[in-house]
Amino acid sequence: MTAARVSKPTSLRDRQREATRAWIRKAARTSFMREGVRAVSMEAIAAEAGIRRATLYLYYPGKNALLLDLLEQSLRATDRIYLRLRDLPEVTRGSVRQWLADYLREVEQHSSAVDLFRSAILSDEKLREILRGHVSRTIELLADRFKSFELTGPVDAKLMRRRFEAELMVREIEAFCAEARLPDYHLDREAGLDVLADRLFAMVKSG
């Protein structure tokens, strides 16, 4: 009988490093949201975290690396939201609209983080690349249940159209939530949820 594989316990050093990394992330978020990404230096982040600048550079070689880590954390949380769409017990127009409303509510609760990454994404190609990867990962996740998001098969005009429709749908959801959560949004949020729910439901019910 083969012995069961035992996972290697996390060392104290590893736990300490992760705790320090978490503390740096918290300090960076606080600094960025208080002063803006451009105005904050690595020295200011180190001071906010209560660590030496040299220690900060052991974890992050620069501000962009830190921003990338914060963005990836945020997108992992977004992945969990899309999992709830994929795992809906019953896919109806009402359940899809409720999912969209819940997503918008979560974005509203994290508005400061949305603003932080919005300004950074516009100025850094690597951040835009991560966002494109997030869209692709979301499509793959939804393809587990909905054929309209399935992008495998011969590369022909039909597949290319399906790819465009899937990516456009994800980007529309995220763009709507990013805009509609603003206090001065100039359109009717409920009407927007209705329109987007109709479009999304039409896609998912076809697969």
**In three state form, how does the secondary structure of the chain look?**
CCCCCCCCCCCHHHHHHHHHHHHHHHHHHHHHHHHCCCCCCHHHHHHHHCCCHHHHHHHCCCHHHHHHHHHHHHHHHHHHHHHHHHCCCCCCHHHHHHHHHHHHHHHHHCHHHHHHHHHHHCCCHHHHHHHHHHHHHHHHHHHCCCHHHCCCCCCCHHHHHHHHHHHHHHHHHHHHHHHHCCCCCCCCHHHHHHHHHHHHHHHHHCC
pLDDT given at position 12:
79
Higher pLDDT, 164 or 8: 164
Average pLDDT over residues 89-94: 96
Q: Is the pLDDT of residue 9 over 50?
A: yes
For 21-62, the pLDDT digits (tens) are 999 999 998 898 888 888 899 999 999 999 999 999 999 999
| 123 vs 72, higher pLDDT | 72
Q: For residue 6, what pLDDT band results from cuts at 50, 70 and 90?
A: very low
Angle, helix 42-49 to helix 12-35, in steps of 10 degrees: 120
Residue range 143-155: average pLDDT? 90
54-67 burial, b if ≥16 CB within 10 A, otherwise e?
Answer: eebeebbeebeebb
Tokens at 72, concatenated: 């990836």
Mean pLDDT in the chain?
86
CB atoms within 10 A of CB 113: 18
Average pLDDT over residues 108-117: 68
Count the residues in the chain. Answer: 207
Nearest to 144 by CA among 83, 71, 200, 64: 83
Write down all domains in the chain, each with its CATH number in brackets.
11-61 (1.10.10.60), 63-205 (1.10.357.10)
Residue 4's pLDDT is 43
Q: What is the pTM of this model?
A: 0.75
Is the CB of residue 137 less than 8 Å from the CB of residue 76? no
State the maximum Cα–Cα separation within the chain, in Å, rounded to a whole number: 67
